């Protein structure tokens, strides 16, 4: 059976900023309001539950918290983005502009781009790993993450938990 969490209603949201390589509006630093819908498929436990929803929400919120109010920086190739480590700051050169940003304000993610596709893969993999590590979620078969970046745009990925 399937149980779903609707991000907008369950408060599974985060707001963050990013800069996309290129020349359009997205090449300037700009915010996104994200929300995450999560679907799990599993077997009934002895308490007639598929999943402990409160605990599942806590795991998702922990992943959201890493993004909250941060500027996202991905591993774009050097031809697109150069990052210089300046002690407490990063100097980020992108789109012929240099941003000097405190490290505390940045979430540096080991993904090849900040496209919704790569963000969805990252989020789903983090969640699947956390669920697999916890005995509480052992009755689950798979998890499906739908990550929205606003403007009616979202990525969706299903990962096996067995
Ligand atoms: Zn954007």
pLDDT along the chain (162 residues), means of 10: 97 96 90 97 94 97 98 96 96 96 97 96 98 96 97 96 95
CA-CA-CA-CA torsion sign (104, 26, 11, 134): negative
The number of C-alpha atoms within 13 Å of 128 and in the hemisphere containing its C-beta is 18
Per-residue model confidence (pLDDT) at position 25: 83
Walk across the sheet containing 81-86 and list its strands.
Answer: 81-86, 89-94, 97-102
Per-residue model confidence (pLDDT) at position 148: 98
Q: Using CA atoms, how far apart are residues 40 and 30, in angstroms rounded to an integer? A: 32
| Global confidence as pTM | 0.95
From the list 141, 124, 156, the residue with the least C-alpha distance to 51 is: 141
**Ligand 1 centroid, distance to 114 Cα (angstroms):** 8
**Ligand 1 centroid, distance to 118 Cα (angstroms):** 13
Residue 101 neighbours by CB under 8 Å, 6+ apart:
71, 89, 90, 92
**Ligand 1 centroid, distance to 51 Cα (angstroms):** 33
**Ligand 1 centroid, distance to 139 Cα (angstroms):** 37
**Ligand 1 centroid, distance to 66 Cα (angstroms):** 18
**Ligand 1 centroid, distance to 26 Cα (angstroms):** 5
Domains of the chain, with CATH numbers?
A: 2-75+108-160 (3.30.479.10)
Per-residue model confidence (pLDDT) at position 29: 95
- Residue 82 in 3-state DSSP? strand
């Amino acid at each position: 059976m399937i149980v779903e969490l609707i991000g907008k209603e369950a408060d599974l949201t985060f707001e963050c900023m990013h800069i996309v390589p290129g020349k359009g509006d997205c090449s300037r630093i700009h915010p996104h309001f994200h929300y995450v819908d999560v679907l799990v498929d599993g077997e009934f436990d002895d308490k007639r539950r598929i999943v402990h929803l409160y605990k599942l929400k806590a795991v998702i919120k922990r992943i959201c918290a890493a993004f909250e109010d941060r500027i996202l920086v991905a591993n774009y190739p050097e031809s697109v983005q150069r990052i210089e480590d300046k002690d407490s700051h990063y100097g980020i050169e992108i789109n012929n502009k240099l941003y000097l940003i405190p490290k505390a304000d940045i979430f540096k993610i080991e993904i090849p781009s900040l496209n919704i596709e790569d963000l969805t893969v990252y989020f789903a993999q983090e969640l699947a790993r956390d669920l697999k590590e916890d005995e509480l979620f052992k009755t689950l078969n798979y998890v499906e993450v739908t990550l929205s970046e606003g403007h009616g745009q979202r990525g969706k990925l299903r990962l096996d938990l067995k």
